Structure 1
Amino acid sequence: MLLLSSIPLHLLFNSLIFQTDQRDSEYQLAIASEGFFTGVPFYVPGASLNPPGWMTTSSGFYGGGGYGLGVILPSNNSSVYHRNVSAMASEALIWDNLTAQECYNDYFSCGGIKGHRNVIAVVDQKDGWIRDEVWNLMANQSEFWDPIVPSNETNSLWWAGPCAMMAEYVKEDGVVCRDTCTSSWGHDGYMDSPTSKKTNNSPWVLSFFNDSRVMWLVNNTKGPDGTYLHQASPNEYTNDITPGASDLTVNYCLAEPIDHFCYVSISNVLLLAVTICVLVKTMMAIIVTVVLARRDQAPLVTMGDAVVSFIERPDRTTVGICTIGQRDIRGHSNQYQATQLAGPRAWAARVSRRYKVVPVSVWFTSYALFALGVGVISYFLNMAMTFLDHHLTGQVLESDTNPFLDSESWSFASAVLVANSPQLLLSFCYLAYNNLFTRLQMAKEWATYSQGYYPLRVTDPKGEQFSTYRLQLPYKYSIPLIACSILLHWLLSNTIYVFVSAGGYFDNDLFTYQRGYDSSLPDGTIVSVGYSTWSLIVMLAVSVTLVTIPIALSFKKLPSGSLIVGSNSMAISAACHVSSVSNVATRGALYSNESIKSNRRSWKWLPSRLEAPPPPYSPLNDAQKARRDSLQYVQGDDQSLLTPHGRPESDHFEMRDLSRHTSRASLLSGRESPMTKEDVYEQIARSKVRWGVVTMPPEFYAEYEQEQSYGHLSFGVEEDEVTPPVDKVKYA
């Protein structure tokens, strides 16, 4: 349930709160002299004699809310068109003054209306233009224009009209902007986004009749035949413009400032789904906590927890196989066959590397996941490059200039599932990646105990034990791993993402013919799924680099005196059968009264009477003699010594109960409180330990009578003088 309830979180949580970009498209453009807003008269449609919707706007071809369509011949000063132009002239002085370069950047970026809406391009014509100085009209044309634009009066307006920026999705180029006033801004063609290469500090020359097709229409005539100028062929109304008259140098712009809104929205449906998943996970966590608390079991979170558990509560099924490793166990079909390896086995000293700690199956499944992830990235990158004709477009982060996935009907829910499904795969890859690091670190941690005396790393430390890392792995690994996870999830969220926008810029037939609307979202809001080719490349490079790191770390060498147990509980258990005659009993300072329960018998644990003679042993060295003197057992009123090889110096041993009311002083004449076998195990687990050759009680050496000499490998304290295993020597 914990796993199943996590899947919807990965798929839905990232899009629970989303951004809605408000991108409008409509604005008014006027090209005029300074006299336009300082009181010099103007006559619409301006000295260009070019009403909106005629030659220099393309609204009629691409929609845009009807701008440029149905405009009545502007002799009627009460028309909406005339009122809009008059409002621009009266309000211009309170608008923002933009340099020519700023104006160029704002409006020629053509990404929808952002910081400014209506704009006046102020050109280097102080007061304005006189019609007869600009045009050489024929008699019939002059007769038509005289009531509208006087022939000999100064006109402070060159051109004015409504414009619209609209997004269009083009297969080869991604999202491009169509400005209905492209030609009015002085660029070729009707529909292409502006392509002028104006550089900083260079004059901005606006060639109003730049299009060769428009110039042909302007300089030819057939005579008027209609009431509405926009309904007639344009070459019927103008003829022979003065050369250079339409080449205008823009000095600066006056732009109407607006607030660019960006909304933060929340999906109620996704919120409900995420809330249910969180409640399920919370309830499961509470249930698991309560159940485990009732069982009164120590947590087995770290390797140290497992070692403590196996030391304090030895597993009988793993006795006598202290040299067995995880590969020996995995090489047998079941645990029973592995236990048949019990008995003395010769130690084979060899140099091992960390990769042997990780089972082959784990390597395979982990890198199969990594290969799947890298393969998915490579596939989409190849598809994107093919789709875009091998051109990189857009930006690294989320942007409306990035390409979009094709779909005829995007709903918000479907877009969320498609955009976030790679997050689920990434989470599985990270779990596998973290698992590899954890296993490699466990190999290093286990090997350190064969090199010296170290406390065990446990969840609930006691004695000399120390607490686990807060993040389970050492900080030098865990912090970079978490940082990589955050980076990859963030990068992936910018590689493929849900795109939501409101306003007219994207809400048009050029963009929405293959996008979608969702009834759960406000009117005029479109939904799509975008992706970044640049982020795909970065994601691929980062992923390929990261998957090589575990391989590099896995070739580090492990000490020859250590055993490869990995995370195999049976192998760990077999290596944790400590000696009951450990010299830890001689510690007075470290042993605390809390480990002696009030209901225990106050007696010393003694080995039972031997039923078979001990195996032969070599003469004791000085260190072993010193240890022999420290291991004393009570036999009546006498004391008998036990050698490190298990041979008693007295033939009779017995275990005698001591009175509960006997004082510690009377028991051992000043020595420490007596310890049971369980106390010895507990004290070893709470001390600094080392893994290697330890001395066992005499009956251990009588277990395998056919063997002449053998030892035992397990954990011991400093007083036990643990030594490394010797090559070709047998241990059981």
Structure 2
Amino acid sequence: MSAWHSQPPIPLQPRPQPYKNIPKEDSSTTLYTEVPNDEGKIPLYRRQTFRQKWFGGISRTLRAFVTVACIVLIINISWLIYAKAKYGIKDGFGTISRTSCDAVKSSNTWLHFFINILSTLLLTGSNTFMATFCCPSREEVDKAHQRYRWLHVGSFSWSNLRGIAGRKSLVVVILACTSIPFHLLYNSLVFSTLSANEYYYIIVTEDFLTGAPFNLTGDWQPRFPGRSEDRSSSHFFGKFSRRSSAPSWERLDNKECIQAYSDAFVSSRRNVVLVSNIPSDENSVLLYGDADMTSEMTSNWWICSKIKNDGGVETCSPDKYAASASTWEVFDFPIQYCLSEKVDSVCSVQFSQTIMYVMIAFNVVKVIAMLWILFRYDAEKILISVGDAVSSFLKYQDPTTTMMCLADKRNMRSFWKSKGFARTFSRRRQFWGTAVSKKRWFFMMFSFCLFLVFGIWGFHHIKKRGVSSDLKSLWKLGFGRVSQNTMVIYGGGGNADSTAIIANLPQVILALVSFVFMSIMSSLFLAADWSTFAFCPRTLLVSSPVGKQRGTWLLGAPLGWGAAFLALQTLLHWLLSQSIFVVQINIFNKDGTPVPESASQDESRGRYAHLSNCGYSPIAIVFSIIAAVVLLLLAVIFYFRRFPAGSPPVVSTCSAAISAACHPLSMNEEWMYGKFRWGADGGVMNGVGHCSIVSDEIWRQGYARPPIQGSVYAG
């Protein structure tokens, strides 16, 4: 036997009575008696630094997140009161600003960015509360272990709800449910209302512009018979011929004309005169029609009227005609140039009072749930981190996990079934991904695939409408901008509030992806931190640090990575809010007056006074997919990272596997707040060794060392 094997282990200390301030449920096999925290007599090794006292405790972190939730609530209420007083409410909607459409689109983008920051702060706090109070106490862990079940420590898991107190489970479920409306509605609280002008398109001869006579009463449009209301518009045409040289009319070449009227939602222009070089002695008006905003949203179809069967909503692509603008024809009439009536484009940023009320109500419920559980349960008695569990199991050893020191998360049940059998230690390097169950990996990949389906559908929709899918064409459609080809649903002058639910369904899927991603990352980093105990002295990562102990990670991962993950998720939610969104469009008549509400009831023409629909931005979808792929690649990269050779078993967040690694032969209170290592503790009996988390003091005295490849261990 080697010299190391012959060294006697430190004798096990006799079990004293548990210290009176320790909860009864924590009383098991104890290795030391804790010194009371008498005022002014706290041992040096248990004193807190300034950082630990004010920034390291979980209670202060939770209070900070409650404060954030209250601040978000105050902002929501204050903003609603201010908006109602300043802008007023009409039909459940308020107008924040009314200005040019370009300015509105820009301010709408930045308002959504601000909303996503508020949402991220609130939901991060809510998720932290869920992850904290979903974790078990020592009593709940002991009850689970007695039934040969284990609970997750240091990470959120729905399976824990069966093993923790019913009231805690209820509050966790409430916090989860109150997060859903924020994903479904918050991004649609503010939306831009655009303007779309109906207009006449008139094909005329050159002499029409100099006052030549015209006649609108004949068979002027053989293919598309005129409507009776068109006949009564002669006075408009007279104005066109007299005012076509006024400053409000702009001469456009063919390409500029096609581009100006290519979108069904024309906001900065109205009526257009198309000048043809075909002479006509009988009538200076060759043809005219009206571009009304109907349920089909095909008011620009006349641009594509040259080719037979071209002009349908799924086939008309004005960009094709812009490429050969010099030979452009409209209903077989060659066009020389256009005269376009310029008007001021007026759009607005609006908010929904109903959605604001819903958000405030759920914000209040969330704050109440946070406050109740914070003051009802002592977070410091919950095993929030792996370090908390190690500290508890070192102080009061768990008899249900003895004789299984090489137990890991994935094989915990087999270790329980064959308890006492020695296992061979292997220095084989394992992937970080083994710290997370296959179910969680599958769920994240499945959620990610659902997210990709949304993007694939968008590109299929664009292709179906005849729009080129190259990046240049997609960028031309605009970032977060709507066009006739990027409307999700045609028809229906629906309500913006109901449309918001459809527009934000991808946000719910993304929230699932983000939540599972952060849960996985937290488990991976905890497992990586655990592996380092085999190679260097490390202090425990606990929720309420004292002495040399480290505080838990605020964002579930080391600060740098946690901040990066949070920023990436915030960016993703914002990009998604610009990818699919509520579209509210107010329709104006050819003379600039709003279309009356009665027009919406004219089913024969399908006209609307306003449109509420879902629009999407293909280029924003591209950026969303890129950001989501980055998130997925990060997960894959971390999955294939390997623990160093000779690392301890991958216990991850498994309470039983953690407990199995916490059976040292000796321990005292001062060591509890110092550094630890994992290795073979004590000598060898009948060729079988014992591994455990041990104090660095034991290691430095030579009573513990790294386990040997191929040797067997138990105990």
**Distance in 2, Cα, partners of 1:20 & 1:391:** 27
Q: What is the Cα deviation at residue 286 of structure 1?
A: 0.5
Q: What is the Cα deviation at residue 383 of structure 1?
A: 6.7
1:725 aligns with 2:707: yes
- Matched-pair contact (CA < 8 Å) for 1:67–1:162: no
1:563 aligns with 2:550: no
- Matched-pair contact (CA < 8 Å) for 2:199–2:272: no
Q: What is the Cα deviation at residue 259 of structure 1?
A: 2.7
Q: Which is bigger in relative contact order (C-alpha 8 A, separation at least 6)?
A: 2
1:381-530 maps to which residues of 2 (within 5 A)?
384=461, 388=465, 395=477, 397-400=480-483, 401-405=485-489, 410-504=494-588, 524-530=609-615
Distance 1:20 1:710, change over 3 A: same
1:8 aligns with 2:91: no
Partner of 1:325: 408
Partner of 2:102: none
Partner of 2:692: 713
1:177 aligns with 2:350: no
**Distance in 1, Cα, partners of 2:204 & 2:233:** 18
**Distance in 2, Cα, partners of 1:197 & 1:708:** 83
Q: What is the Cα deviation at residue 507 of structure 1?
A: 7.6
Partner of 1:362: 440
Partner of 2:131: none
Partner of 2:663: 577
1:213-232 maps to which residues of 2 (within 5 A)?
none
Partner of 2:374: 289
1:109 aligns with 2:262: yes
- Matched-pair contact (CA < 8 Å) for 2:317–2:467: no
- Matched-pair contact (CA < 8 Å) for 2:258–2:303: no
* Matched residue SS, 1:8: helix
1:192-207 maps to which residues of 2 (within 5 A)?
none
Distance 1:57 1:180, change over 3 A: farther
**Counterpart amino acid of residue 361 in structure 1:** K
Q: What is the Cα deviation at residue 110 of structure 1?
A: 4.6
**Counterpart amino acid of residue 305 in structure 1:** D
Q: What is the Cα deviation at residue 567 of structure 1?
A: 0.5
**Counterpart amino acid of residue 287 in structure 1:** W
**Distance in 2, Cα, partners of 1:369 & 1:35:** 62
Distance 1:377 1:504, change over 3 A: same
Q: What 5-or-longer segments of structure 2 have no aligned partner?
A: 1-173
Partner of 1:22: 195
Q: What is the Cα deviation at residue 516 of structure 1?
A: 9.6
* Matched residue SS, 1:68: helix
- Matched-pair contact (CA < 8 Å) for 1:56–1:190: no
**Distance in 1, Cα, partners of 2:265 & 2:656:** 67
Partner of 2:129: none
RMSD: 4.9
Q: What is the Cα deviation at residue 349 of structure 1?
A: 3.7
**Distance in 2, Cα, partners of 1:496 & 1:464:** 50
**Counterpart amino acid of residue 285 in structure 1:** M
1:575-614 maps to which residues of 2 (within 5 A)?
575-580=661-666
Q: What is the Cα deviation at residue 298 of structure 1?
A: 4.4
Q: What is the Cα deviation at residue 548 of structure 1?
A: 5.3
Distance 1:136 1:495, change over 3 A: closer
Deviation per residue, 1:64-99 (Å, 9 max, x gap): xx7632256xxxxxx56546755x36xx55547666
Q: What is the Cα deviation at residue 322 of structure 1?
A: 2.7
* Matched residue SS, 2:502: helix
**Distance in 1, Cα, partners of 2:275 & 2:447:** 61
Greater fraction of residues in helix: 2
Deviation per residue, 1:278-337 (Å, 9 max, x gap): 111111001011112xx37345433333333333444344344332222332336xxxx4
Partner of 1:165: 291
Distance 1:211 1:431, change over 3 A: closer
**Counterpart amino acid of residue 451 in structure 1:** F
**Counterpart amino acid of residue 315 in structure 1:** D
Partner of 1:68: 230
Match 1:311 to one of 394, 411, 423:
394
Deviation per residue, 1:422-460 (Å, 9 max, x gap): 322221122222222222222211111111112333333
Q: What is the Cα deviation at residue 465 of structure 1?
A: 2.4
Deviation per residue, 1:677-729 (Å, 9 max, x gap): xxx33x32322322223459xxxx9xxxx847644421322563252112314
**Counterpart amino acid of residue 730 in structure 1:** Y
- Matched-pair contact (CA < 8 Å) for 2:258–2:318: no
Q: What is the Cα deviation at residue 415 of structure 1?
A: 2.5
Deviation per residue, 1:104-123 (Å, 9 max, x gap): 26644353432244667899
* Matched residue SS, 2:565: helix
Deviation per residue, 1:149-208 (Å, 9 max, x gap): xxxxxxxxx6699874345676xxxx543377999xx999997879597879x996898x
1:86-101 maps to which residues of 2 (within 5 A)?
86=242, 88=243, 94-95=247-248, 100=253
Match 2:671 to one of 658, 680, 684:
684
Number of matched pairs: 521
**Counterpart amino acid of residue 532 in structure 2:** T
**Distance in 1, Cα, partners of 2:402 & 2:320:** 83
**Counterpart amino acid of residue 516 in structure 2:** A
Q: Percent identity?
A: 20
- Matched-pair contact (CA < 8 Å) for 2:436–2:652: yes
Deviation per residue, 1:352-389 (Å, 9 max, x gap): 222322233333444344445445665x4697479658
* Matched residue SS, 1:14: helix
* Matched residue SS, 2:374: helix
Partner of 1:155: none
**Distance in 2, Cα, partners of 1:390 & 1:178:** 15
Q: What is the Cα deviation at residue 261 of structure 1?
A: 1.9
**Distance in 1, Cα, partners of 2:230 & 2:464:** 35
* Matched residue SS, 1:331: helix
- Matched-pair contact (CA < 8 Å) for 2:408–2:649: yes
**Distance in 1, Cα, partners of 2:307 & 2:220:** 12
**Distance in 2, Cα, partners of 1:121 & 1:427:** 51
Distance 1:67 1:306, change over 3 A: farther
**Normalized against structure 2, the TM-score is what?**
0.59
